[in-house]
Structure 1
Amino acid sequence: NSIDSPFSAFVFKTVADPYVGNLTYFRVYSGKLPEDSNIYNSSKSIDNKVGKIYKMQGKNQRPIPEVCAGDIAAVAKLKNTITGDTLCDKDNPVLFEKIEYPEPIMLLAITPKTKGDEDKLSTALSKIIDEDPTVKVYRDENTGETILAGMGESHLEVIVDTMESKFGVEVEKSTPKVGYKETIRKKVKVEGKYKKQSGGRGQYGHCWLEIEPKARGEGFEFVDKIVGGVIPRQYRPAVEKGVVGAMKKGILAGYPTVDIKATVYDGSYHPVDSS
């Protein structure tokens, strides 16, 4: 922690400032850093150029010529630098231990109020995550919803307010849907036929499937029991693809179908129209 030691600092906060871009807040643990100098981000293994250094006083930014061990300051527009990164002298690299953040405990489904704001919402969420590592955003594959996860109701309200006031994106909020799944309870045999003539070469597909339930968690299984070439081998993968596509939306409530075995055992084809 001596001023005469090589420079090292820890990034404890990042803020997307509408006027100067991203502001990176850091505390200097050793050495000193003058303005217009080069530093090394040992967390990302990248070089960075520091321009002006600011002393933050509330919302005001006061330029200072350098910072020393023990100082807290901010710099603008550091590339690929986020909260928890270590900044140091490249010839004397160090790596501080990252902060372990708790997992989010409350979820909120969000959609942009304006249909064309999907890109703006994505950009806003990306910047908010850079500012606040306790925020997580993901897309629920089962329900198709964008889920915003935070540390509590107040935390989520602050995030939504920030999106509206700082990034100009208004969102609709709702309770996340439960990602149910569907399955079948007994073995069935079913015929599928597709035939279309529109002048010239048409389209034709025909197969018989036996579908039966599997134990929970065993997933999907496809079995080919075609004999005698009633469906040529090159067309059979399309049967499996069709079954997998139909499983994405079950017939009971539209949820994904899981844990079934589908066996194709018969069918027919047309020498011209099948392709």
Structure 2
Amino acid sequence: MHIELKGRKAIVTGSTAGIGRAIAEEMARAGAAVVVNGRTQKRVDTALREIRALLPDAELTGVAADVATAEGCAVLFGQTPDADILVNNAGTAHPNDFFGQDDGEWLDLFQLNVMSGVRTARHYLPKMMARGWGRVVFVSSESGLNIPKEMIDYGVTKTAILAVSRGLAELVAGTGVTVNAVLPGPTRSEILSNWMESTAQERGITREQAEQQFLRTARPTTLINRFATTEEVANMVVYACSEQASATTGAALRVDGGVVRSIA
């Protein structure tokens, strides 16, 4: 199957590193004109330079905007008022103590992980519907189904994303626009890789050993017995944004290495 996205403009929020960066690269490789987004101009410029070195013919633009805020989203909308494909990837996670967290920490995470996608979908979906074609993908997590005790706030936001995604798919039914969620499992993204590197240094072991310890203790139901790569997650996202995925909507597409122990 050859996926061709030429003539499509794709916005990938939070795409200067990690899963978002891999999605931006794979979108560009498939021919889409890609808008790279990050919070700082420095990170956006670095990502653009590196992707162009890898894909010299790619059509790329960058927007430095913090989509965790309404003001940041307004900057994004001002510089990129329209798009055919929207990938709501921006988000973060922090291991924490539930009893030590305050309301502000919960609300800050909700603004980034959930409201960024709500705001962007609210802006871009109506124009997709008017054209009769569009793709929206929310990057959720297997933690939205298996709430991790060390990151309850994160799990809650990823569950909320699943609800938003399904609700929007219902809302745009019959318009030619699809809305889906992709659920990565443990992945060698920037955030989790930094966490594993820190753990490895603390325990005097390799990063690979730290990953295996994490899987044994926190994700023992993994079926691939390794972390996924960001490219493996990106492949699912690019497919969901393709013409070939026209009958896939309202779905929670898992790239979790089999961590979630259910058939459906």
Interval containing the TM-score (normalised by the shorter chain): under 0.3
Considering fraction of residues, name the structure with more helix.
2
Considering fraction of residues, name the structure with more strand.
1
Q: State the TM-score, normalized to the length of structure 2.
A: 0.21
Q: State the TM-score, normalized to the length of structure 1.
A: 0.20
- Bigger CA radius of gyration: 1
Higher RCO, Cα 8 Å, sep 6+: 2
